[in-house]
Chain A
Amino acid sequence: MSIRGKAFIAGIYEHPLREIPDRSVSQIHAEVAAGALADAGLSFSDVDAYFCDGSAGFGPLSNADYMGLRLKHVDSTETGGSSYVVHVGHAAEAIAAGKCHVALVTLAGRPRTAAMGGGGRGFGTPTPDATFEGLWGMSGAVTGYALAATRHMHEFGTTSEQLAEVKVAASLHAQHNPNAFLREPMTVEEVLDSPMICSPLHRGDCCVVTDGGGAVVVVSPEVARDLNRTSAKVLGHGEAIKHADNGRLDLTYTGAVVSGPIAFEEAGVSHADIDYVSIYDSFTITVIETLEDLGFCEKGKGGQFVLGGTLVAPDGRLPFNTDGGGLCNNHPANRGGMTKVIEAVRQLRGEAHPAVQVPNCTIALAHGTGGSIGSRMGSSTLILGTEDA
């Protein structure tokens, strides 16, 4: 069974704030849920399925209780920052199978103003992988991505200047987003001059740390038809876990090598059909490896591919992350998958900022990466189209 054309994203909402010191995470879940439902023209009483990660209290139990949801279907697949891309795929599957009609997906968190896991793991966790990886001073998520970047540079000659091009493109987009955490355009030199965090990654290679969240509403074709709002059609979805492979890990590629082809095949589209991409950008190296793994360029050529404004909207060959991405706009709860889906829907609706709206955007791809490309990760690829795509 394919999900192609059997579900639509009818509502989206990105929390406008980046620092939220005075609200609970549950409250932020409720706010983004209300926002996405209002965007779709639906209400909480229409929701019959709910999706969230495992990070909020008792996951879906706590959130369904808080919001008073009456549910027939629930899924709290936890694959880190890629979870919400997975959730859209799973929601489409559940809708296609007749299990539900209105699926709500939410994300919320406060890593900026409240203590929570920032990607690093403390000592003493009893799971074996944590013990064998937690003793050596891994300083949050950036260390693992730096290990991948060093190896990518060694094998393929990728340079810090090429990595910086990714940040530059994101910053050029973020200047148009009034809610973006970082709004100043950056140059390659400014990225290279920013403090080294874990070589070869500078501060400019890293995403922002922000409070906030987002939500999407996935609905059946029948529900979408009756709404006044323009929806995005779900065309295809793929997911994968790439793990440490019994210690034979290869840090030069991501799980996108598996999730990408599955999504392209289901959607029945080719790379030339893709007008816009949301690429998970926890770090600049994440983007380089993912573009290669999704097949937008040869393995190892990602650094060369992004040169010359390839990723810059609206005129680049492959406009990406037009909201400013996780690198500049928002990386709520240290998890960027939700905002990847949201900006892809904005592009397909023609509602991105006019300065970065891709003309005649018909097919968009949103890709999420969770966990760490330095050890084990979740990867998920979603291909969306306009209502008539």
Chain B
Amino acid sequence: MSSTLPTPAPAISPETEEFWAATARGKLLLRRCDDCQTIIWYPRPFCPACGSLKTSWTEASGRGSVYTFTVVHRSGIPGYRDALPYVVAYVELAEGPRVLTNIVDCEPDQVRVGMPVRVVFHDTGEGNALFRFRPDEDA
């Protein structure tokens, strides 16, 4: 469950500094192409749809649905191995991209493909937070 999942800090590059800084303020940023308006994921200052180098940040709605998931029953990863079973998922954001994440605040056997979810942030203690998703009761 969410309270026991570890919160490893991300490796931050110059291209993702602003993204991770925003997570501390509870904001999920997406990179968008200035030329073709395509939403880019993972965040990079380059548009893989049209090749443009002109991109900027936009704030995501934080809403989406479960594209697919797995309940992990065996893991050797420090922290995670103490939190079994836990859910790894791709969540399809309302803006389009499918992002790797965890589903939290929900029994693993209650997770379903297509389930509406919204973003939550778990503090890493290093000035940023991990984006995870929980069931969206309002959807």
Residues of A within 8 A of B (CB): 120, 123-126, 128-133, 135-140, 143, 146-151, 154, 195-201, 244, 246-249, 251
Contact = CB atoms under 8 A, between A and B. Distances in A.
A152 to B, nearest CB: 9
B81 to A, nearest CB: 8
A151 B113 contact: yes
B70 A147 contact: yes
A198 B77 CA distance: 14
Nearest to B48: A246
A150 B48 contact: no
B11 A247 contact: no
Contacts of B75: 137, 139
Contacts of A139: 72, 74-77, 80
A143 B101 CA distance: 12
Interface residues of B, number: 47
A139 B94 CA distance: 27
Contact of B11 (A125, A149, A151, A196): A125
Nearest to B109: A199
Q: Top 6 closest A-B pairs, CB basis? A: A247-B97, A247-B41, A146-B70, A137-B80, A139-B75, A151-B68
A125 B48 CA distance: 22
Interface in B13-28: 13, 15-16
Contacts of B57: none
Contacts of A249: 90, 98
A250 B5 CA distance: 27
Contacts of A131: 10-13, 16, 42
A128 B49 CA distance: 17
A248 B74 contact: no
Contacts of B98: 247-249
A199 to B, nearest CB: 4
A130 B10 CA distance: 10
Contacts of B121: none
B63 interface: no
Given A128-B13, A147-B89, A248-B97, 19 more contacts: A120-B77, A131-B10, A132-B100, A135-B10, A136-B100, A136-B130, A137-B72, A137-B86, A139-B76, A146-B70, A147-B90, A151-B68, A154-B113, A154-B114, A195-B73, A246-B38, A247-B39, A247-B41, A247-B98
Nearest to A118: B76
B49 to A, nearest CB: 6
A308 B127 CA distance: 56
